[in-house]
Amino acid sequence: KKITTLPGDGIGPEIVESGKAVLQVIADLYGHQFEFQEGLIGGAAIDATGVPLPDETIERCQSSDACLLGAVGGPKWDQQPPHLRPEKGLLAIRQALNLYANLRPVQALDALIEESTLKPEVVSGVDVLIVRELTGGIYFGEPRERRTIDGEEGVVDTLVYKKSEIERLLHRAFQFAEIRGKHVTSVDKANVLESSRMWRECANEVATHYPSVTLEHMLVDNAAMQLIRQPKQFDVLVTENLFGDILSDEASMITGSLGMLPSASLNGTAFGLYEPVHGSAPDIAGLNQANPLATIASTAMLLRYSFGLLEEADCIEQAINQVLLKGYRTADLTNANAISTEEMTKAVIKEIK
């Protein structure tokens, strides 16, 4: 199996190194062969090639079975014009590889329950899978431009969806719900947006194919509230690109730390791109302080969704739980006795073994 790593910027290289190390240990233990190759993306790609996503990177990803991405962006490239910004590499790779289904699981880990700003009884037991549409909507719609309106300067962005784009994503959500809590909350703004009304129609239609799953519609403003009020009510939360961006970052606060959250971006095949939800944290880049657990958890998702290696995935996730229960903490999770990125990685590897 071929894995392309895309370290990117900031702490990206360090945490991807941790992920690779864990994957290598799994390969050795379980007798698999993982072949690694590396690709450029984000600021690192801009510095080396002038663009945030070189064609060569796309080709490498396409010729592999899965990708592991670190993070992109940093102050160094903040003055670049929009189409030459590191984030553009992220948006472009989603489109180029048709990664339309973004999975962001949010689970409360008992060992970290006190980290959350929410009360323990609200957080404990939360297990939400956010399924976010990732290649459509207002992120990519045209026109997106400055324009003269009524004789003065104005601006336009466009939210566009084809029915098939909405449906394929909803099918994924219902399929995940079938093997989870059998409940889908579809989030939209159907009292205002025409696209949300189509979304709601599609959800109702797709739901008929999954009789064991219950479907609930929720307005996005209410969802933003309910995630804080009673997060345990959610099983699978499915929504369009921008709503998913906002709600998944909000939901990350349930766990108390963005440093723990993995993600998967899937197309219709087994191929997927896996990355931590957090950013490139340029302030601690290269200092061996970053929390590698979100990236390590992403490797578990990689094994599960792209390679079908369920036991191996479980093994990694249990190891993460164990090191946390044993009290190991990186600097983002503690004020005292923080361990380094490398030490945390080693602790996880020791648990795996």
Ligand X SMILES: CC(C)[C@H](C(=O)O)[C@@H](O)C(=O)O
Which of 9, 7, 15, 12 is CA-nearest to residue 37? Answer: 7
Q: What is the distance between the alpha carbons of residues 221 and 239, in angstroms, rounded to a whole number?
A: 13
Residues 135, 116: Cα–Cα separation, whole Å = 31
Active site includes 245? Answer: yes
Site residues for ligand X, 159-218, by CB under 6 A, read 191-192
Which is nearest to 102 in space by CA: 168, 54, 193? 168
Nearer to ligand X by C-beta: 99 or 331? Answer: 99
- Residue 150 interacts, among ligand X, a second copy, none and using kind-specific CB cut-offs from 5 to 8 Å, with a second copy
Contact 169, 101 (CB under 8 A): yes
**HSE-CB for 88 with a 13 A CA cutoff:** 17
Reduced 3-state DSSP string for 250-280 = HHHHHHCCHHHCEEEEECCCCCEEEEECCCC
Q: Is 157 a catalytic residue?
A: no
Catalytic-labelled residue, pool 100, 139, 274, 305: 139
Closest CA to 241 of 156, 130, 334: 130
Binding mask 130-149 for a second copy (x = CB under 8 A): --------xx-x--xxx--x
As a whole number of Å, the end-to-end CA separation of the chain is 22
How far apart CA 142 and CA 158 sit, in angstroms, is 6
Select from 65, 245, 342, 343 the one that contacts a second copy (CB under 8 A).
245
Among the residue ranges 87-95, 140-148, 227-235, 325-333, the one whose residues contact ligand X (CB under 6 A): 87-95
CB nearer to ligand X: pick between 19 and 244: 244
Q: Which of 28, 157, 311, 314 binds a second copy (CB under 8 A)?
A: 157
- 327 phi and psi, to 5 degrees? 95, 0
* By CB under 8 A, residue 247 contacts a second copy: yes
Give me the least distance between CB of 23 and ligand X, in Å please.
22
Among 162, 209, 350, 353, interactor with a second copy by CB under 8 A = 162
In whole angstroms, what is the distance from residue 230 CA to residue 207 CA? 24
Our finding on whether 91 is near ligand X (CB under 6 A) is yes
From the list a second copy, ligand X, none, partner contacted by residue 338 (C-beta under 5 to 8 A by kind):
none
Q: Which residues bind ligand X (CB under 6 A)?
A: 87, 90-91, 191-192, 221, 245
**Residues forming the active site:** 139, 189, 221, 245, 249
Q: Which residues bind a second copy (CB under 8 A)?
A: 82, 85, 87, 91, 117-119, 122, 138-139, 141, 144-146, 149-150, 152-164, 189, 191-195, 197-198, 220-222, 224-225, 227-230, 242-243, 245-250, 252-253, 258
